[in-house]
Amino acid sequence: MDLDKIESRLSVNNVQILSIISVTLSAAISAVTPQSGVFYNAIPKHRCSLPEFEDKTLFKNASEDEIKSLAIPWDLVWDRRVLNSVLQSLYFVGILVGSTPAGYIFDWFGRRLSLLILSVGLMVSGIGCTFAPTFEVYCIFRFLEGATGLALYGAAFSYANEIAGQKLRITVFTTTPLVTTIIDTLFPMMAYSLRNWRDLNLTCSLLALPFIITWPFIPETPRWLLMKGREIEARKVLNRYARSKDTIIKDEDWQIILETERKKMKFVNTRTHLTDLFRRPFIRIVSLVIMYIWLVANCVYYGLVLNVGSLMGELSERTLYTIQSYMYVM
């Protein structure tokens, strides 16, 4: 008997369901941050400032009716329009900086603590963007938003699949991206309702709050606890599973699990390198194919989504184009 078998015997329990729902929603919320810049930075119809002709009955600024984006108060138009691209690039640099050490952070601090740190970081950086007094301050917080957003998605995805157990793992593996895509598709509708970019930004930031509130009630994954030698804590988590199923874990069964997992850990703890992905012919082909698929999928996704603001039409039409883009990519 090993950990997978005991988890399968105790699945599906209330602890797993609460944890998976909470973490899946946090992953989905973190996924809307890449496309949010399309609406924050949208350049509505505008005109040059003409102080001597400020008669709004004759020269009405269309941005007052359409959308209040950060492009107008910080003058990101005409020769400063390129700063919109710089701002988007800073966000993706943040993704690069945050994602690179993310896997090590998950292993060092655990899945559960990493989820809390990244969720709080995403919410705080989002609130910082909302109340940023200058464009430069906004750039800093937007960079931090990128550094925490995708890393949070990775932590949530890893946690959900580990906590699910063997019986639920395939379902969770497919459901998490599906929920993310659905929320991505619904996000343009929310952006259409909230025309002020600060209101939209604040709303997106506070979406992380429900997970932070439920965080104390979700356990660490037994697999990570056993990997770190924290066997007593791992048994406490499994006992929570057992209580929700009105059963117990016998001492003899627990000893068998420990012996089996210790043997596995000897293999897991062997030192590995990134070059192992390319050392053997079969693994090399699989790695290159996955990388290529990932590249193509991201080019299609971001190529459609990040350029919706450049399309012709009114705001309602562009919102519809955005929704259609997500449905196409999905």
The answer to whether the beta carbons of residues 202 and 130 sit under 8 Å apart is yes
Position with higher pLDDT, 81 vs 171 = 171
pLDDT for residue 153: 87
Q: Which of 270, 293, 310 is the last residue of a domain?
A: 270
Taking only the tens place, the pLDDT of each residue in 127-149 is 998 898 888 898 899 999 989 98
pLDDT digits (tens, 9 = 90+) for 149-167: 888 988 888 888 888 877 7
Sorted by sequence, the CB contacts under 8 Å of residue 125 that are 6+ apart come out as 141, 142, 144, 145, 147, 148, 205
Name which of 36, 37, 33, 39 is nearest 68 in CA terms. 39
Q: Identify whether 104 is part of a domain.
A: yes
Q: Is the pLDDT of residue 106 over 50?
A: yes
From 251, 270, 289, give the residue that closes a domain. Answer: 270
- Alpha-carbon 104 to chain mean position: 17
Give residue 65's pLDDT: 46
Residues 105 and 186 in one domain: yes
pLDDT greater than 50 at residue 170: yes
219 with 280, same domain? Answer: no
Q: What is the pLDDT of residue 116?
A: 92
The DSSP result for 131-199, as a single string, is: T-SSHHHHHHHHHHHHHHHHHHHHHHHHHHHHHHHHHHHHHHHHHHHHHHHHHHHHHHHHHHH--BHHH
Structure tokens at 79: 């020769």
* More reliable by pLDDT, 224 or 65: 224
* 8 Å CB contact between 140 and 94: no
Q: Residue 108 carries which side chain, given as an amino acid letter?
A: W
Q: For all residues of the chain together, what is the average pLDDT?
A: 79
Mean pLDDT, range 291-302, rounded to an integer:
84
pLDDT band at 45 (very low <50, low <70, confident <90, very high): low
Shared-domain flag, residues 192 and 247: yes
Residues 159 and 286 in one domain: no
Any bridge partners for residue 270, and if so which? none
Query: Tokens at residue 240, please?
Result: 């929570």
pLDDT band at 62 (very low <50, low <70, confident <90, very high): very low
Residues 42 and 89 in one domain: yes
Asked if 253 and 280 sit in the same domain, the reply is no
Whether residue 165 lies inside any domain: the answer is: yes
Task: Answer yes or no: is 51 within a domain.
Answer: no
- pLDDT at site 127: 93
First-last CA distance in the chain: 39
Residue 53 lies in a domain: no
Structural domain boundaries, residue 15:
3-46+63-270
pLDDT band of residue 286 (cuts 50, 70, 90) is: very high
Give the whole-angstrom CA distance, residue 133 versus residue 299: 33
Residue 58 within any structural domain of the chain: no
Q: How confident is the model at residue 254 (pLDDT cuts 50, 70, 90)?
A: confident
Q: Say how many CA atoms lie within 13 Å of 4 toward its Cβ.
A: 7
Find all residues with CB under 8 Å of 69, minimum gap 6, and list them.
39, 40, 41, 42, 43, 44, 63, 197
CB 192 within 8 A of CB 319: yes
CATH code at position 196: 1.20.1250.20
Is the domain of 155 the same as that of 283?
Answer: no
What is the C-alpha separation between 238 and 219, in angstroms, rounded? 10
Q: Report the predicted TM-score, pTM, of the whole model to 2 decimal places.
A: 0.82
Query: Is the model's pLDDT at 16 over the cut of 80?
Result: yes
pLDDT of residue 144: 92
For residues 244 and 283, what is the distance between their CA atoms, to the nearest angstrom? 41
DSSP structure class, residue 68: B
- My answer on whether 283 and 176 are in the same domain is no
Number of domains comprising the chain:
2
Question: Cβ-count burial of 320 within 10 angstroms (0-12 exposed, 13-18 middle, 19+ buried)?
Answer: middle
| Nearest-angstrom CA–CA distance, 254 and 231 | 10
Indicate whether 52 belongs to any domain. no
Q: Is the pLDDT score of 110 beyond 80?
A: yes
Over residues 106-129, the mean pLDDT reads 90
Lowest mean pLDDT among 9-18, 137-146, 264-273: 264-273
Helices (H), 54-134: 63-66, 82-99, 102-109, 111-130
Give domain status of residue 18, yes or no: yes
Do 255 and 285 belong together in one domain?
A: no
306: three-class secondary structure by DSSP: coil
